[in-house]
A and B are shown apart, each in its own frame.
Chain A
Amino acid sequence: MRTGKPSQFGEYAAMLLIWLGLFLVFGLLTDKFLTWRTVNALANRVPALVVVSAGMTLVLVIGGIDLSVGSVLGLSGAVLGVALKDWHWPFFGCILICLAVATVAGLVNGLISVRLAVPSFIVTLGMLEVARGLAYLTTHSQTKYLGESLESLAQPLRYLGCSPAFLISILVVAATQLVLTRSVFGRYLVAIGTNEQAVRLAGINPRVAKMGVFALSGLLSGAGAIFYTSRLGSSDPNAGVGLELSAIAAVVIGGTSLMGGRGSAVSSFFGVLIIATLESGLAQMGASEPVKRVVTGAVIVLAVVVDAWRHHLAGARFAFVTRLLGPKPTPRS
């Protein structure tokens, strides 16, 4: 049966292989790369990007984009610091207000883009500036040392080597993927990204789902702020600068289309791993910042080209992987 789509499992296997391949390449090019320590260091660096990318995946699925995630991360992180250090709120209260601020920012994005029909690109671009400015105002442009209150989230666990933050971020990815593929909300998102007009004429009001997606993206940026702040040990108004571009890169490398209608949080997770490995490997090799940026940029474009080519070939390229992993469903007469 030809469905013109590469099988889901085959896609994940392919991404895993690519990441492993990348890892091996760097292992060959440098020494002391192929160690458990490298993997753990990687795992503990990425939780913020992982959850933000999960949110970005959902936004891209409806055909929108959220450029404000980095700034919202910075703003909610700033609020977190203020709540902890200045207001002396209890731990969970601080977490809550951090998430609340981020979600409200996302809701504002959603409201303006849906009710006033402003393209999400523009709305979130505006929020990028506004949230960053508010982050500076909140912290009086100063980094706030937070001490040990959040450190436990970022500390590697005894037997696993990775931090609780990483584990939580994996759960978030799994939850996002489940929502996207198996919930009514997720189905509506995919439908809206495929053909919003048809969804409206099928009797569904797309507005609620669209606003919800931006609120979710905000919420996940808030979660990212918690992970980021815990790793840094301090609340920095510059947190998250440029994060939106890394998130978009990760999602796109993972194979989600900018046009909307399809996407996978799991693939975006692999995209994050690939980007992080690339950065880490290049750093080990002694590459300078500019070189890192050139290579990363080239990889992003390459990934999109390969993905387009893959879909054009209707999955034939990776057919050998899907054949390895399971039989194709038999066609009905």
Chain B
Amino acid sequence: MLLVKGLQKSYSVPVLSDFSFELVAGEVHALVGSNGAGKSTFARILSGLTQADTGEIEFQGKPYAPRSKRDAEHAGIIMVMQELNVIGTLTVAENIFLSRLPQTAGFVRFAQLRKMAREALSRVGLEDLDPTTPARQLGVGQQQLVEIAGALAQNCRVLILDEPTAALTDPEIDRLFDNIRRLQAQGVGIIYVSHRMDEIRRIATRVTVLRDGRRVATHPAQEVTPAALVREMVGHDLPERKSGTARATQQVGLRVSHLSSSDRVRDVSFEVRRGEILGLAGLIGAGRTETLRAIFGADRKTTGEIFVGDSSRAAKIREPSDAVRCGIGMVPEDRKIDGLLLAQSIRVNTTLATLSEHVKGGGWLNFRSETSTTNILGERLGVRCASPEQVISELSGGNQQKVVIARWLARNCSVLLFDEPTRGIDVAAKDTIYQLLRDLATEGKAVLVVSSELTELMALCDRILVMSAGSIAAEFLPGEWSQEKITHAAFSGYLDRSEAQP
């Protein structure tokens, strides 16, 4: 149904070189590759957001060259992007049907809009969501499902999903896959861009590997191993992921006591030892991010005390600046909104938390020392860029995340909070970050990691806490845990007493 030949696209460097691709109606064709390999660019070309330099695309037998998103949507090719495009101040219903609001003579027919929205939402399993909810009140996972609902509500023949499950938890992913299978049965072709090998095995028909803008190979999804795919993506083997080793000490790095914040965090207490990596699992909306933010002083806490190190006096944390002074650092969930200064250089972003270390007499900045620190940290984390002066918005997601982490490494904190540190990042970069987390723990820091990827947590952590509905539902040690047990604990806070299993 869709045929791509010899596609070429360059910005200042070639991003796609002689790329060929085909999609058959009713198939789920996965597209894998490291960041910067060209997957997102290809998706953007197909969905009309940008144009290729050369090459041809044929859709349903006719030449296809959309000049805009509208052209593509008219033709029936729709993309749901990795970065959310939800408009916070509008309601869910308005977001879904923004370009097609039902109207008479310019006035919106709200009743009909609500009905249409309820239908669209039920297709992604959100039938209980009130369509008049302002979109900004939704969690990231729900926002993504709303976007997908919006795409499904249009008449699409080709659906492009770019990292759709990055912010979804397992039950939500199952729902998404059910929807995808239903679309397949209707003859819709789906291009599924993802890093998640396990998902590709579950849902994809074929998988194409992209490297440096070229197609390396296409395999039937069930016949190829993840290791083989990774080898093709990277060009060489990646070292095996080691599971968490016992390097936690007896000393306490961070103690949280009866922490409560708005209604999202309810009487949470736990400790993180120095040298320990503590994982925090749970469903979207369980309160994990809110817990981290309350510890860091980004959100106001209603009750509770934070103790750093072996101090017996509670730390007075009312603003993040207080937390940082106590030696706590936080890598936030959404790097674009909360972490990065997008229009500024890598150097400016890296030294933001440690400017006082790069000062000559009188408060004047020492650019050379900033550059030197940026280079050192950049090397350590493997940040791929043209120079430290490069504007950070030009970097890939993985490299941007490394810079945010570098900012905190420069600070030499004793406690580090990571909120979804590997979201939207390719396999090689993830590995770098995992190794970094282990190194930080070995250095004696207390590391707390929030993640929705259970395999990641189980491979990385020394202990896993599960949050559910604002409280801690369970604690697991290595050997005790499994995906089923963690998921069960994650749900427990939302079940009726009678439904809870013994």
Contact = CB atoms under 8 A, between A and B. Distances in A.
Interface string A154-190: 0000000000000000000000000000111101101
B339 A201 contact: yes
Contact of A201 (B332, B386, B390): B332
Interface in A198-253: 198-205
A203 B389 contact: no
Contacts of B365: 182-184, 187
Interface string B330-341: 101000011111
A4 interface: yes
B75 interface: no
A195 B340 contact: yes
A262 B343 contact: yes
Given A183-B363, A203-B353, A5 B391 contact: yes
A198 B338 contact: yes
Nearest to A185: B363
B251 to A, nearest CB: 24
Contacts of A201: 296, 298, 320, 330, 332, 338-339
Contacts of A78: none
Interface string B190-231: 000000000000000000000000000000000000000000
B352 A331 contact: no
Contact of B344 (A188, A191, A203, A204): A191
B343 A332 contact: no
B363 A4 contact: no
A331 B355 CA distance: 25
Given A1-B389, A191-B352, 12 more contacts: A1-B390, A184-B355, A191-B348, A195-B340, A198-B341, A199-B341, A202-B324, A202-B353, A203-B321, A203-B325, A261-B341, A329-B389
A2 B298 CA distance: 35
B387 interface: yes
Contacts of B343: 194, 261-262
Given A190-B344, A201-B332, A203-B353, A332 B387 contact: yes
Contacts of A332: 385-387
A89 to B, nearest CB: 32
Contacts of B342: 194-195
Interface in B240-277: none
B319 interface: yes
B352 A199 contact: yes
Interface string B305-349: 000000000000001110111000110100001111111110010
A3 B296 CA distance: 34
Given A1-B390, A2-B12, A183-B365, A204 B353 contact: yes
Interface string A281-308: 0000000000000000000000000000
B258 to A, nearest CB: 24
A14 B352 CA distance: 31
A185 B320 CA distance: 19
B391 A329 contact: no
Nearest to B355: A184
Instruction: From B339, B343, B344, B394, name the one whose CB has the most chain A CB atoms within 10 angstroms.
Output: B343
B356 A184 contact: yes
Contacts of B407: 202
Contact of B352 (A3, A182, A183, A204): A204
Interface of B: 11-12, 296, 298, 319-321, 323-325, 329-330, 332, 337-345, 348, 352-353, 355-356, 359, 363-365, 367, 385-387, 389-391, 393-394, 407, 411
Contacts of A204: 321, 352-353
B437 to A, nearest CB: 20
A30 interface: no
A142 interface: no
Contacts of B359: 184
Nearest to A257: B343
B387 A194 contact: no
A321 B359 CA distance: 33
Contact of B338 (A183, A194, A197): A197
A194 B386 contact: no
Interface string A69-101: 000000000000000000000000000000000
B86 to A, nearest CB: 18
Contact of A200 (B319, B341, B391): B319
B344 to A, nearest CB: 6
Contacts of B323: 203
Interface in A312-333: 329, 331-332
A4 B393 CA distance: 10
Q: Which 9 A-B pairs have the closest CB atoms?
A: A203-B324, A331-B386, A194-B341, A205-B321, A202-B353, A2-B12, A202-B352, A332-B387, A1-B386
A292 to B, nearest CB: 36
Given A184-B365, A203-B325, A197 B386 contact: no
Contacts of A191: 341, 344, 348, 352
Contacts of A331: 386-387
Nearest to B13: A2
Nearest to A4: B391
A3 B320 contact: no
30 contacts: A2-B11, A2-B12, A3-B391, A5-B391, A182-B365, A182-B367, A184-B363, A184-B365, A187-B355, A194-B341, A195-B337, A195-B341, A197-B337, A198-B338, A199-B341, A199-B352, A200-B298, A201-B339, A202-B352, A203-B321, A203-B325, A203-B353, A204-B321, A205-B319, A205-B321, A261-B344, A329-B387, A329-B389, A332-B385, A332-B387
A81 B379 CA distance: 61
Contacts of B411: 203
Contacts of B344: 190-191, 194, 261
A203 to B, nearest CB: 3
Contacts of B345: 3
Contact of B390 (A3, A184, A198, A203): A3
A190 B389 CA distance: 15
A184 B348 CA distance: 11
A289 B93 CA distance: 53
A33 to B, nearest CB: 40
Contacts of A1: 12, 386-387, 389-390
Contacts of A182: 364-365, 367
A213 to B, nearest CB: 16
A161 to B, nearest CB: 34
A3 to B, nearest CB: 5
A329 B388 CA distance: 11
A184 B324 CA distance: 18
Given A194-B342, A198-B340, A4 B321 contact: no
Given A183-B365, A184-B356, A198 B339 contact: yes
Contacts of B356: 184
A45 to B, nearest CB: 33
Q: Which of B12, B298, B352, B407 has the most CB of A within 10 A?
A: B352
A186 to B, nearest CB: 8
B12 A187 contact: no
A261 B391 CA distance: 13
A66 B389 CA distance: 31
A61 to B, nearest CB: 12
Contacts of A197: 337-338
A332 B296 CA distance: 36
Nearest to A181: B365
Nearest to B12: A2
Interface in A127-149: none
